């Protein structure tokens, strides 16, 4: 018997959240307000991650892996300052950060998350 796949916040092309086998997959999250600097965009992105994880029934302490896409690696330190204040100490996930051309030139950071359900 196939295990259930639950989709949350389904958009036209994708779901913001997919839950399968006690694992939560978040689509790439980014700021809604693209006028901000890396600090503002990272804060807003992490806030969205918190909300979508809660909607799925988990939280940031259960994150397994994060892939971070930066428009410019010059923003690495600024993004990390916000990340370090947000991440749960002792529960840091596996993480990769790469420079990428993102869909809008005003997007400075995007994050894709995999987490375990509570």
68-100 per-position pLDDT tens digit: 999 999 999 999 999 999 999 999 999 999 999
Looking at residue 11, its pLDDT comes to 86
Query: Where are the chain's structural domains?
Result: 5-116
- Looking at the chain, the whole-number percentage of residues with pLDDT higher than 90 is 96
Closest-CA residue to 113 (of 57, 31, 52, 71): 52
Name the one residue in this structure whose structure tokens are 């991440």: 87
What's the topology of domain 5-116? 60s Ribosomal Protein L30; Chain: A; (3.30.1330)
Looking at residue 1, its pLDDT comes to 64
Closest-CA residue to 67 (of 104, 41, 30, 15): 30
Looking at residue 95, its pLDDT comes to 99
Q: Answer whether 6's CB lies under 8 Å from 19's CB.
A: yes
Say which residue, 43 or 118, is predicted with more confidence: 43
Q: Answer whether 48's CB lies under 8 Å from 115's CB.
A: no
Closest-CA residue to 69 (of 94, 95, 99, 45): 99
């Amino acid at each position: 018997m196939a295990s259930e796949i639950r989709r949350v916040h389904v958009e036209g092309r994708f779901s913001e959240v997919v839950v399968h086998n006690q694992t939560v997959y978040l689509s790439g999250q980014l700021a809604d307000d693209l006028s901000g600097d890396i600090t503002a965009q990272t804060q807003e992105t992490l806030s969205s991650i918190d909300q979508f994880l809660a909607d799925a029934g988990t939280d940031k302490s259960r994150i397994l892996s994060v892939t971070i896409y930066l428009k410019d690696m010059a923003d690495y330190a600024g993004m990390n300052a916000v990340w370090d204040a947000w991440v749960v100490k002792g529960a840091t996930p596996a993480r990769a950060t790469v420079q990428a051309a993102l869909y809008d030139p005003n997007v400075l950071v995007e994050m894709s998350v995999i987490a375990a359900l509570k």
